[in-house]
Structure 1
């Protein structure tokens, strides 16, 4: 997987966290940049760890599925992308709904873990392709930190409208990255 594809993957992985951050920002009274950055860093660290966990699990299975690795990565990204698109189009987007004003660290961390489950599944898929998992995890964490910080700051202004669209775009990008993996495998 090339660097531009990794960057797109990183930003696609951060869109659900971005949607959640908009909800967090909408629930806060005039969030300050340092508050937003702290929330962004917490999300980013958690989002960077989960693909590493997924990659470790996928690496164990690599020797048994080497012939099908590109298809596994494609299907995982396709399913995750389709799920993100479906969630972005649904009327009940929990991540973008304003929450109570309590922004405690455990509650923010729990939200970050919930939005990073898809990054773990992507990590499993990355175990089957030629990619530096450390570079991928760092890019995912950085993109998430940036997107969540921006999302918190924009939350008061934009509400849930952008969150849904961001998740749809992220889903389309994930499907595109999966298609690029197949394209690279078949040497076209």
Structure 2
């Protein structure tokens, strides 16, 4: 997996956390830099750690699944992407929506729960990194940093722009993950031998 593909994957994985960051910005209304920093730190940290956990799990079984690694990547990324798209259309209540104090959305317990929920997909991708022999240190740093920056911006985007971008972010992330899964599968079956995109 090339550096560019890892970067694109990082952006796609960050879209769930970005969507929640937008929601936080909407709920807070007058979010400041400190609150944006707190949101970005939680999401960036968890989004970076989860692929490492997935990689550690996947590396134990690497020898048994190398022959089907492209199928694993296709299924994992395809499923995660489809799930993100599906959930973007679900009309579920936003965390802390009915709270009299919207800043309760940024308490430690809630932020940990949100961080775990939005980074589960990254755990599964970490398993895929193991079978594809991706440099996990590089991937973890890139995913964590990109998520941090995206979520920091997301709080202020939510503060000024509203709910529309939240749904579109999840759809975009889902589509990108599906396309990456298809790309990996086609490359490993030699169907993209003459295509240089992402190389």
User: TM-score range, shorter-chain basis?
Assistant: over 0.9
Q: Are 2:135 and 1:142 aligned?
A: no
Which residue of structure 1 aligns with residue 163 of structure 2? 160
Alignment correspondent of 1:34: 34
Q: Residue 197 of structure 2 aligns with which residue?
A: none
* CA distance in structure 1 between the aligned counterparts of 2:34 and 2:189, rounded to whole angstroms: 46
Q: CA offset at residue 98 of structure 1?
A: 4.1
* Structure 1 CA distance for aligned equivalents of residues 39 and 50 of structure 2: 17
- Asked if the contact 1:23/1:99 (under 8 Å) is kept, the reply is no
1:58 equivalent in alignment to 2:61: no
Q: Distance in 1 between matches of 2:150 and 2:172?
A: 14
Please identify runs of 4+ aligned residues in structure 1 that moved more than 6 A: none
DSSP 3-state at the match of 2:61: helix
Tell me how many residue pairs correspond in the alignment: 187
Q: Secondary structure at the match of 1:31?
A: coil
Q: 1:117 to 1:180 in 2, by over 3 A?
A: same
State the secondary structure of the residue aligned to 2:165: helix
Q: Distance in 1 between matches of 2:10 and 2:43?
A: 13
| Structure 1 Cα separation of the partners of residues 153 and 98 of structure 2 | 18
The two structures have a TM-score, normalised by structure 2, of 0.88
Unaligned runs of 5+ in 2: 194-199
Q: Report the CA distance between 1:163 and its aligned residue.
A: 0.8
Flag structure 1 segments of 5+ consecutive residues without an equivalent.
Answer: none
Task: Give yes or no for contact 1:24–1:98 (8 Å, CA) kept in 2.
Answer: no
Structure 1 residue aligned with 2:196: none
- Taking the TM superposition and a 5 Å limit, the aligned residue runs for 1:1-188 are 1-92=1-92, 94=94, 98=97, 100=99, 101=102, 102=104, 103-187=106-190, 188=193
Q: Based on CA coordinates, which of the two structures has the bigger radius of gyration?
A: 2
Deviation readout 1:81-101 (Å, 9 max, x if unpaired): 011111112333747x84631
Q: What TM-score do you get using the length of structure 1 for normalisation?
A: 0.93
More divergent stretch after superposition (116-125 vs 101-110)? 101-110
Which shows bigger deviation, 75-84 or 152-161? 152-161
CA gap 1:44/1:99 in 2 versus in 1, 3 angstroms:
farther
Q: For the structure 1 residues 134 and 161, does the alpha-carbon distance in structure 2 shift closer, same or farther, using more than 3 Å as the test?
A: same
Quote the Cα distance in structure 1 between the aligned partners of 2:94 and 2:79: 20
